[in-house]
Chains A and B, each alone.
Chain A
Amino acid sequence: MEWIADWLFVIPLAPLVAAVANFLLGRWWIRDRAHWIAVPAVGVSFLASVPAFLTVARQHEPLSQHLYTWIPAGDFRVPVVLSVDQLTAVMLLVVTGVSFLVHLYSVGYMHGDPGYHRFFAYLPLFVFSMVMLVLASNFLVLFVFWEAVGLCSYLLIGFWFRRRSAADAAKKAFIVNRIGDFGFGIGVLLIFVTLGTLDYAEVFERVGTLGAGTVTAIALLLFTGAIGKSAQVPLFVWLPDAMEGPTPVSALIHAATMVTAGIFMVARTHPIFVASPTAMLVVAIVGAVTAFIAATIAVTQYDIKRVVAYSTVSQLGYMAIALGAGAWIAAIFHLFTHAFFKALLFLGSGSVMHGLHDELDMRRMGGLKRSMPLTYWTFLIGAAANAGILPLAGFWSKDEIIVGAWVAGYPVVALIALAAAFFTSLYMFRAVFMTFHGEERFDRAHLHPHDPPWTMSVPLVVLAVGAAVAGFAGVPPEQGWFHRLLEPVFEGSAHHEVSLATTLAFGAVSTVIALAGLYLAAAAYVLGTVSPAAVAERLGPLYRLAYNKWYFDDVYQRLIVEPARGFATFLWRQIDVGVIDAAVNGAARLVVWTSQLWRRAQTGLVANYVLAIALGTVIIVGAYLVAGSNLFR
């Protein structure tokens, strides 16, 4: 299937065409037919990714297609080349596959929304940007589409921009991401300054020529970008707020694809990270802290989408742990399985919201198992996969990460990850039990929950199947099909031998931990043997710490937002009004004053004017005669 190398451009082009068509014609012509363009376009993109994947799965060499030279400036050339190696191929399948399902789901979910055509313009635009991001073959193109997915994220979080909270959340996401992107941009510049090239292959080849300090600086700056985009501590605060966007957006962008761009980027640039053990350690620590903090927050939240959002942050932390431990394949494997179950969980919550007229608070749900059986079973599979219950997808990939951290010599990180796994299982089953079990706490007189129409249930079923079986791509651990597939990409990078005993031991421990979380959740929310309120009371400050999201938002409010606002107010009142406006107004006032003075000269008497002309002539001619001529000398 070599022919696919010449047809790679179809993968990004199809969604771009759909986006442009819906942008230009959506409002007056296409309207609620927008999905007839967007859904097939993303489908085409997926279908074009499959042969590309199959080709690189069989051969060692990456595919590439040169589109055009974007910047030809002397020696510095930036070509736009689409290149597909095994890593990119996996990402392509995940991105286009999940996108297709989410597009299909949105047809039902967004039905009747006044911004329907706008939604189906932004969503394919996102797919285009994300696909270009993974296809990029140099840092500049990567950076451009890195920003482009951020833009799409902003547009989609603020999709219901008339709602104040949505508009604020969109701004927050954009600004917080900007902090990370700033570091990322500097990292790219540093690469260019030190190596003189931005092409992946050339950069990775020459990384060895750099000093240790420079490599660490580059790696940490690049990772700053990942911290922003992949919602790691301390920049994760935007992701939970991003749930203000429509639920399909949360599923696609803020769970399955865009937020994994940071993980992908670090994996893509792994030769740089391999060269700097310090940076690797930082990545692992940040990941562990993120995984743990987000998991504890998720346990205390009541908003179903926020629970899933913090779960996303936590799982991204796991991926970062894997990256830091040099378990590159485990990170991508978890990214792969996570895309299935997290998209499933979000779409499942969307389905619950759909049935309960946009109810988000789990305290006003309960007992939905009977009225929404399909949603219940798919959500349960997603939750179990996320919690790492054998043999679902999450178990295989998460376990591999923990083992990877252990053998890489980060035992503390591995233990924190295990602790977080307990909370993961607890919050996931807490969500399941509060939503679907127990008594019906919603308004039964007015709400009649039911399973969604087929466009929404088909993606749920497909993703549930994926969440159940995707893990087997990586079985047996460390030697599965998935590992052999990605082997060529990470050839020669840090790889630790894992004994079968270690794998089995950790598998057993994490299963016990996951079941413990499950049992505690069941005891608290189904059996009623443990009272959640009493536990919260008992833990006191610890509970409040988690419930208030470890006070990250409050600290930022105090330390950054308020001083910044104070400074801005100072600039406005003192500098802008006091200096700049005053200067402009002063100039105007001076002109008014001078002309008031001179208007007196306008008497309207011709005689005065003539006198002025005559006197003027006498003075000018006189001055000429005195100074310039020799008549009087």
Chain B
Amino acid sequence: MTELTTAHFLFLSAALFIIGMVGVLTRRNVLIIFMCVELMLNAVNVSFIGFAWEQNALTGQIFALFVIAVAAAEAVIGLGIVMALSRRLDTVDIDEVRQLRE
């Protein structure tokens, strides 16, 4: 059994981040995209924790807590937008929302 290193944290973080980003780029359902954004935020949290573990310092962990708090606030706003979207346009498909086109 190999020992746990910082690289393991970072590979996990990178994998989660890429999964999240690909989701954001490819999916059309707003809710899925929203979940993928959360995934990317948590990928960042993982790398914070990894560095905190390596440095044996609390700073990274505190940062992760902050990210969770901000993510919670973002979830409120994001879900609010999703609600407004579905009420006004009766859809959650991102490709049908093109009002910002020139």
Binds B, one of A11-19, A170-178, A405-413, A596-604: A596-604
Contact of B99 among A604, A610, A611, A614 (CB under 8 A): A604
Binds A, one of B1-9, B45-53, B90-98: B90-98
Q: Chain B, 58-102, contact with A by CB distance < 8 Å: what is the 0/1 string?
A: 000000000000000000000000000000000000110111111
Q: Is the CB of A603 within 8 A of B95?
A: no
Residue of A599, A603, A606, A614 with most partner-chain B CB within 10 A = A606
How far is B22's CA from A614's CA once the two chains are assembled, in angstroms?
A: 10
Asked whether, in the complex, the Cβ of B102 is within 8 Å of the Cβ of A605, the reply is: no
Q: Indicate if B21 sits at the interface (CB-CB under 8 A).
A: yes
Residues of B within 8 A of A614 (CB): 21, 25
- Asked if B24 CB lies within 8 Å of chain A CBs, one says yes
* Residue A559, interface by CB 8 Å: no
Interchain CB contact (< 8 A) of B101 among A604, A610, A611: A604
Please indicate the chain B residues that have their CB under 8 angstroms from the CB of A607 in the complex: 25-26, 28, 94-95
Q: Which residue of B lies closest to A608 (CB)?
A: B25
**Looking at the complex, which one of B26, B98, B100, B102 makes contact with A599 (CB distance below 8 Å)?**
B102
Q: Are B24 and A610 interface neighbours, CB within 8 A?
A: yes
B17: min CB distance to chain A, Å: 11
Give B94's nearest chain A residue, CB to CB: A606
| A604 to B97 CA separation, bound complex (whole angstroms) | 8
- A-B contact number at CB 8 A: 28
**In the assembly, what is the distance between CA of A604 and CA of B94, in Å?**
10
**How far is A602 from B25 in the complex, measured between Cα atoms in Å?**
17
B99 contacts which chain A residues (CB < 8 A)? 604
Q: Which residue of B lies closest to A599 (CB)?
A: B102
State the interface size on chain B (CB cutoff 8 A). 14
Chain B residues closer than 8 Å to A602, beta-carbon distance: 100-102
Closest to B26 in A: A607
Query: Which single residue of chain B is at the shortest CB-CB distance from A607?
Result: B25
Query: Are B97 and A606 in contact, with the CB atoms below 8 A?
Result: yes
**Residue numbers in B under 8 Å from A603 (CB-CB):** 98, 101
Interchain nearest-CB distance for B3 vs A (Å): 23
In contact, A605 and B24 (Cβ under 8 angstroms): no
CB distance from A221 to the nearest CB of B (A): 67
Which A-chain residue is minimally distant from B99 (CB atoms)? A604
Closest to A600 in B: B102
Q: Are A604 and B100 in contact (CB under 8 A)?
A: yes
Tell me how far the C-beta of B13 lies from the nearest C-beta in chain A, rounded to whole angstroms.
Answer: 15
Minimum CB–CB distance from A592 to chain B (whole Å) comes to 14
Q: Which residues of A from 574 to 618 have beta carbons under 8 Å from B?
A: 599, 602-607, 610-611, 614
B12 smallest CB distance to A (angstroms): 20
- The residues of B that contact A611 with a CB separation of less than 8 Å are 25
State A614–B94 Cα separation when bound (angstroms). 18
Q: How far is the CB of B28 from chain A (nearest CB, A)?
A: 8
Q: List chain A residues, Cβ under 8 A from B102.
A: 599, 602, 604
Interface centre among B25, B26, B95 (most CB of A within 10 A): B25
A610 to B33, CA, bound (A): 11
Closest to A618 in B: B21
B95 neighbours in A (Cβ, 8 Å): 605, 607
A 43-62 to B, binary, CB cutoff 8 A, 1 in contact else 0:
00000000000000000000
Counting chain B CB atoms within 10 Å of each CB, which of A599, A602, A603, A605 scores highest?
A605
B30's nearest neighbour on chain A, judged by CB, is A606
Which residue of chain B has its CB nearest to the CB of A609?
Answer: B100
* A388–B84 CA distance with the chains assembled, in angstroms: 103
In this complex, which of B99, B101, B102 has the most chain A Cβ atoms within 10 angstroms of its Cβ? B102
Residues of A within 8 A of B25 (CB): 607, 610-611, 614
Q: Which residue of A lies closest to B102 (CB)?
A: A602
Residues of chain B lying within 8 A (CB to CB) of residue A606? 33, 94, 97
Q: Shortest Cβ distance from B20 into chain A, in angstroms?
A: 11
CB distance from A601 to the nearest CB of B (A): 9
Please give, as numbers and ranges, the residues of chain A lying within 8 Å of B28 by CB-CB distance.
607
Contact with A along B23-58 (1 / 0, CB 8 A): 011101000010000000000000000000000000
Instruction: Tell me the nearest residue of chain A to B24, going by C-beta.
Output: A610
Nearest to A603 among chain B residues (CB) is B101
Q: How far is the CB of A304 from chain B (nearest CB, A)?
A: 75
Complex: A200 Cα to B83 Cα, angstroms: 89
Closest Cβ of chain A to B63, distance in Å, is 20
Which partner residue on chain B sits nearest A606 by CB separation?
A: B94
Q: Give the one of A603, A604, A611, A614 with max B CB within 10 A.
A: A604
Q: How near does chain B come to A618, taking the closest CB pair, in angstroms?
A: 10
Least Cβ distance of B66 to chain A in Å? 21
* Whole-angstrom CA separation of A614 from B26 in the bound complex: 13
In contact, A605 and B98 (Cβ under 8 angstroms)? yes
Q: Sorted from nearest, which 3 A-B pairs have the closest CB atoms? A: A604-B101, A604-B98, A602-B102
Q: List 18 A-B contacts (CB under 8 A).
A: A602-B101, A603-B98, A603-B101, A604-B97, A604-B98, A604-B99, A604-B100, A604-B101, A604-B102, A605-B94, A606-B33, A606-B97, A607-B28, A607-B94, A610-B24, A610-B25, A614-B21, A614-B25
With A602-B102, A607-B26, A611-B25 given, name 16 new contacts (CB 8 A). A602-B101, A604-B97, A604-B98, A604-B100, A604-B101, A604-B102, A605-B94, A605-B98, A606-B33, A607-B25, A607-B28, A607-B94, A607-B95, A610-B25, A614-B21, A614-B25
